[in-house]
Each structure stands twice: as C-alpha cells, then as structure tokens.
Amino acid sequence: MKRAGTAFFLQADAPLHVPHRPSRIGRNLFSTIMLAIVFALAARVIELRPLELVRDIGNIGVFLKGYLHPSFAYLGEYAWQCLVTLCIALWGTLIAIVLAVPLGFFGARNLAPHPLVYHLARRCMDVLRAVNEFVFALMFVTAVGLGPFAGMLALGVHTAGGWGSCSVRPLKRSTRARSKGWRQWEHRVCM
C-alpha cells in the first residue's frame, strides 16, 4: 500500500498484510476455569446447599403465615420493647452528638490545633464509620453485659463517626467564608 496524501492506493503485486492478533481464547478459558474453582471452594466454605432450600421452601411460608395471624397475648411486652428501642435511639443519638461534635471540629484542617490532631480525628472517624454496629455491640456486650446499654453504646459510637465526618466539610467551608468576610471587613474599616 502506498499513501498519497489522504488517499490509499493498492498495488496489484503487493501482498495484503494483516497484523497477527494473539488469540485470547486460551487466556479466557484459563480465567473461566480458575474462577469456577474459586467459586466451588467458596461454595464449600459457606456450605452452599440450594437443594435444601428448594426442599424446605415451605418453612418460609409457615414463618410468613405467622405475620398474617399475629398473637396479641404479649402486647404489653411488645409495647415495652418498643419503648426500650426508642430509649436506645434517644441515648444513642445523644452519645453520637457528644462524640461527633469534637471529632468534626478536630477533623476540619482549618480548625484543628495541630496536624497530628487533625489526622487522628480523621482516622478515628474512619474507624468508627467502617466498623459495623453489630461488631461494636459485641465489643460492648463483653464490657457491660447483654442488654440495651450495649446496643445504645454501639449505635452511638458508630453513628458518631458518620456524623463527625459529615460535619467536617461544612465546618471547613463556613470557617473559610467567615475568615474571608472578616478580612474584607477589616480591610474596609482599617483603610
């Protein structure tokens, strides 16, 4: 092939050269087999038994049927547990606020007194957000025993990480805007 300007001309005696593309079939087949082996091993680890699910699917219907015909014999206990749940949420929210406010202020780079404090606050918020409430609940159960107190502590500590992290960006922005406004006012008054 000769190139003349932007047009291509084929010569009759020149062989057409098609570049060789390596076959991906072998690589894809190997990847598929390896992925099948990994899934087979994972199925053994989690004790995957789909036939058992198909065989005992009727038990799910029995379970759900209980929701259609509720028993009101324990209505007082249900009401009490609802009240306990609301109290857990109330105190968990208070703990979250008490922990999130200082974490948010120290997690804002422009408000932290030292870069080390800033980084410690940010990592603390990351850990509190990353660890599930259930894991915190298990930790607190070992410390204070089984009951609503452990659940309240777990919800409060986990939520504090999220709220502290959410409060950092507005704190950075509002402080920056205030300091800019203060400098402009100071410049006008002092000049």
pLDDT for position 176: 56
Region class of 176: left (phi > 0), else alpha (psi between -120 and 50), else beta: alpha
d(CA 129, CA 106): 16
H-helix or E-strand containing 77? helix 75-107
pLDDT for position 15: 67
**22: three-class secondary structure by DSSP:** coil
pLDDT for position 173: 74
Query: Which positions of the chain have pLDDT values less than 50?
Result: 1, 190
pLDDT for position 160: 92
pLDDT for position 166: 85
pLDDT for position 3: 52
Judge contact between 133 and 155, C-beta under 8 A.
yes
**46: three-class secondary structure by DSSP:** coil
Helix (H) and strand (E) counts in the chain: 7, 2
pLDDT for position 65: 87
The pTM of the full predicted model, rounded to 2 decimals, is 0.61
